[in-house]
Chain A
């Protein structure tokens, strides 16, 4: 059996969202990943985030490339539209889809191999286009399906399960995205669902490319002593630096913390991202400062998590392309085909 569907039993007491749906309605089929895989926690967080945002299932397009992470779209939002593309090239599919229909919510799931090796070019160019999508990298530093090779995010000195030590410097998706001009950059940890759900919600609402790099330990190939992507190592080194709460338009902003430690950033649809526990000299809208902060902490061996950078002012792909509000795929054919008279007039110029 290669596909396991999950029986849908919904307890009447389960809470319903504005669409009258329970969180179970946002689930997919049974995960076939290893028990304890960090990816399954991310799947759970995504289900919760989309449910909480009251997004209708068929209004979501979920896309992925190839790899363990890219298998997960079958495990969430079962009644949404899925696209399992080729390895490393999901951003191209998402670009075309968004170009044709800007009205869907695009959720891309990728991994460190899919995004930082084979798909590095596509990843960078999706950022350049400021493609309106949530882009999650389920980062475990290792190729799981092919049994334990280092990925491009593996740290120098990290030890593989069979003993080899990685010598090549890692490609850090967060630092890369910052330098590429990404408009939403976050890092989280699959073991910190509270933080992750808020970040995912803000990422979905962000009108542009929202990168969420989630450290997601591979229990089978990269969870041993000597690995820098294991549960234990991540728990010891991760630092939830910047706390961000997503507040929907109609929501109330909770009692404020100490003055000066809070920064609100309004999003396009009227929702607000409230940053708190902001470190001294930190500003989530200042790209250089964020970059400096992440590097500084990395030098100390810390893995900084949180919604690190948010730029709500940049134009997304459609803004740059200058396309109409109506999704291109919905334009009536009469507006697209100029007709016989126009053709005759045009052809007179080819005389």
Chain B
């Protein structure tokens, strides 16, 4: 089959690279990704990696799309098959008519051959053995060489690749730079010489990324912590949140050194476990420092006791939950939105928490700063709930903006002068009638002393076992948290063309849902769209749900947790919510959304009002 028979597809394809974990392929893949980004083309990269240090299969998926549809797609046009252990499944995954680039230093088993795809064999290992010394360098350069071959096949701008290598290694690592140049050239030249370059799937410069950056959500959140003025971080290592604290550490080294003493304007404490990490956050916030922890589902489970204390004793604190696939240890390197309920009502007894749901790294940055303000304002733990896909993958997002006029909202804190003026301070007294009492910071003034406790207390701050006194405080707490609904980021709404159907989703589902709309629109189906971005839900969530006959709730967990939250927290009748779920651990694809919605609409061909839905039209439906 000749490549020329294929119809050209410029800036619209997906490729997947299958390698062995620990061989340096991550660096080669990042190079490819960044080069295409610099060519101004919308792109996404998804690292599908194992819970392993070295030896297990790992994949990297790249999708380019001129229209910006860069959600994960399960359909691959090109496979770079570098790992013999996964040849069989990797080769099977390529669409008919697609391409398989493989190392043919050793011949590919005949049983692996497919006659509906193009095999592009390059003796990568052989070339690297000839040109490089030492097994480590040979392995590393084999990966760089496939980037060179892809540059020829897809028309990646080699000048951009060279520029990136120059930036990466510079003059300091001259030998490494030369090796990389050589490896790129080996792959490039071989492909040029042996194949019909470029392939019909290829790249062409665009100008879509001028005001954009390529960054992962964990780095973005860590930067948000810097810009929120956080000084104390406590954590316990856990995938996929570890890189958030690693990034915070790097930014602190850069931005948080006292120029006079050379000492640190921060404290990062690796705790003995997540329980201690949560306690350290609360101890620091009690003293008045902005503090945070980053963890994932298992850590949230462990932190529950302290989260309840923070809620009841009214202590701020920012808790990042970079979700991974549960339950239990689950699949630690796969993504999911499985902790929505666990976060919303974390800890025993009556609790409810403020949570923010970023959809991408840009929102990770913005929401992080906001989370610290909300935690201080409402004197309560605030959760920033992202996931492995957002947190660990590089995303193309608009540059973050910063207003130098920003002043952290430290909430209702009485300073020494305030305390001097008042007769007596009571920590849990709602003086202003806004459900939020004043707090003091220890050590500031003799009148500011109070007792912080997780045991029953009355509004004067004294221990109590009295029913009425206990209820007075917890009732205020319920009102306080509910009042945060207007302060969390408002839902993002698209459409509102008075469609009969609504789609409501959360977090990283955004890209896939948006893309799904295009396909559904082609089928004549139109939807209004809402993405919730904060909890407790804004009043407009209730309105949106009740304004649509049928709402499809798209989320990434088995048990329809967002739908449960909507049922618990809004007035929407159960029959108006239809669940669309994907929870296999890979980032959501548009096709999951399309299939999931169509499943609920048998026989629906268009958005013509005359069609008979398989569900009764609820009474009093707001149109």
Chain A residues engaging chain B, CB cutoff 8 angstroms: 2-3, 56-59, 61, 73-74, 78-86, 89, 91-101, 103-104, 121-122, 124-125, 129, 318, 321-325, 327-329, 331, 333, 335-340, 342-344, 346-347, 350-351
Contacts and interface: CB of A to CB of B under 8 A. Distances in A.
Given A100-B291, A104-B442, A125-B272, 6 more contacts: A82-B450, A83-B451, A84-B454, A92-B278, A96-B284, A97-B442
Q: Indicate the size class of the contact surface on chain B.
A: 35 or more
B448 to A, nearest CB: 7
Given A2-B466, A337-B227, A324 B263 contact: yes
Given A329-B288, A333-B408, A337-B229, A81 B261 contact: no
Contact of A97 (B286, B306, B404): B286
A342 B279 contact: no
Interface string B103-117: 000000000000000
B403 to A, nearest CB: 7
Interface stretch (B61-69, B200-208, B457-465): B457-465
Contacts of B450: 81-82
Nearest to A330: B288
Contacts, number: 225
B214 interface: yes
B400 interface: yes
Given A57-B449, A93-B279, A85 B400 contact: no
B285 interface: yes
B462 A3 contact: yes
B455 interface: yes
A340 B404 contact: yes
Contacts of B443: 58-59, 61, 81, 101, 103-104
Max chain B Cβ within 10 angstroms of own Cβ: one of A57, A318, A350: A350
Given A74-B451, A92-B275, A323-B266, A347 B213 contact: yes
Interface in B179-237: 213-215, 223, 226-229, 231-232, 234
B229 A333 contact: yes
A73 B449 CA distance: 13
A328 B265 CA distance: 7
A328 B213 CA distance: 32
B231 A122 contact: no
B275 A347 contact: no
B231 A331 contact: yes
Given A86-B454, A321-B264, A347-B213, A95 B227 contact: no
The 10 closest A-B pairs by CB, nearest first: A92-B279, A96-B283, A100-B289, A96-B280, A100-B287, A96-B284, A81-B442, A82-B451, A97-B283, A93-B283
Interface of B: 37-38, 213-215, 223, 226-229, 231-232, 234, 254-256, 258, 261, 263-269, 271-273, 275-289, 291, 305-306, 309, 399-400, 402-404, 406-408, 441-446, 448-456, 462-466
Contacts of B229: 333, 336-337
Contacts of B452: 81-84
B232 A343 contact: no
A211 to B, nearest CB: 17
Contacts of B265: 323-324, 328, 331, 335-336
B215 to A, nearest CB: 5
B451 A96 contact: no
A57 B267 CA distance: 27
Contacts of A338: 226-227, 255
Given A84-B454, A85-B309, A86-B305, A58 B446 contact: yes
B489 to A, nearest CB: 20
Contact of B264 (A94, A322, A327): A322
A86 B310 CA distance: 11
Nearest to B209: A351
B319 to A, nearest CB: 13
B276 A95 contact: yes
Contacts of B407: 333
Given A103-B443, A104-B443, A324 B283 contact: no
Nearest to A125: B272
A89 B275 contact: yes
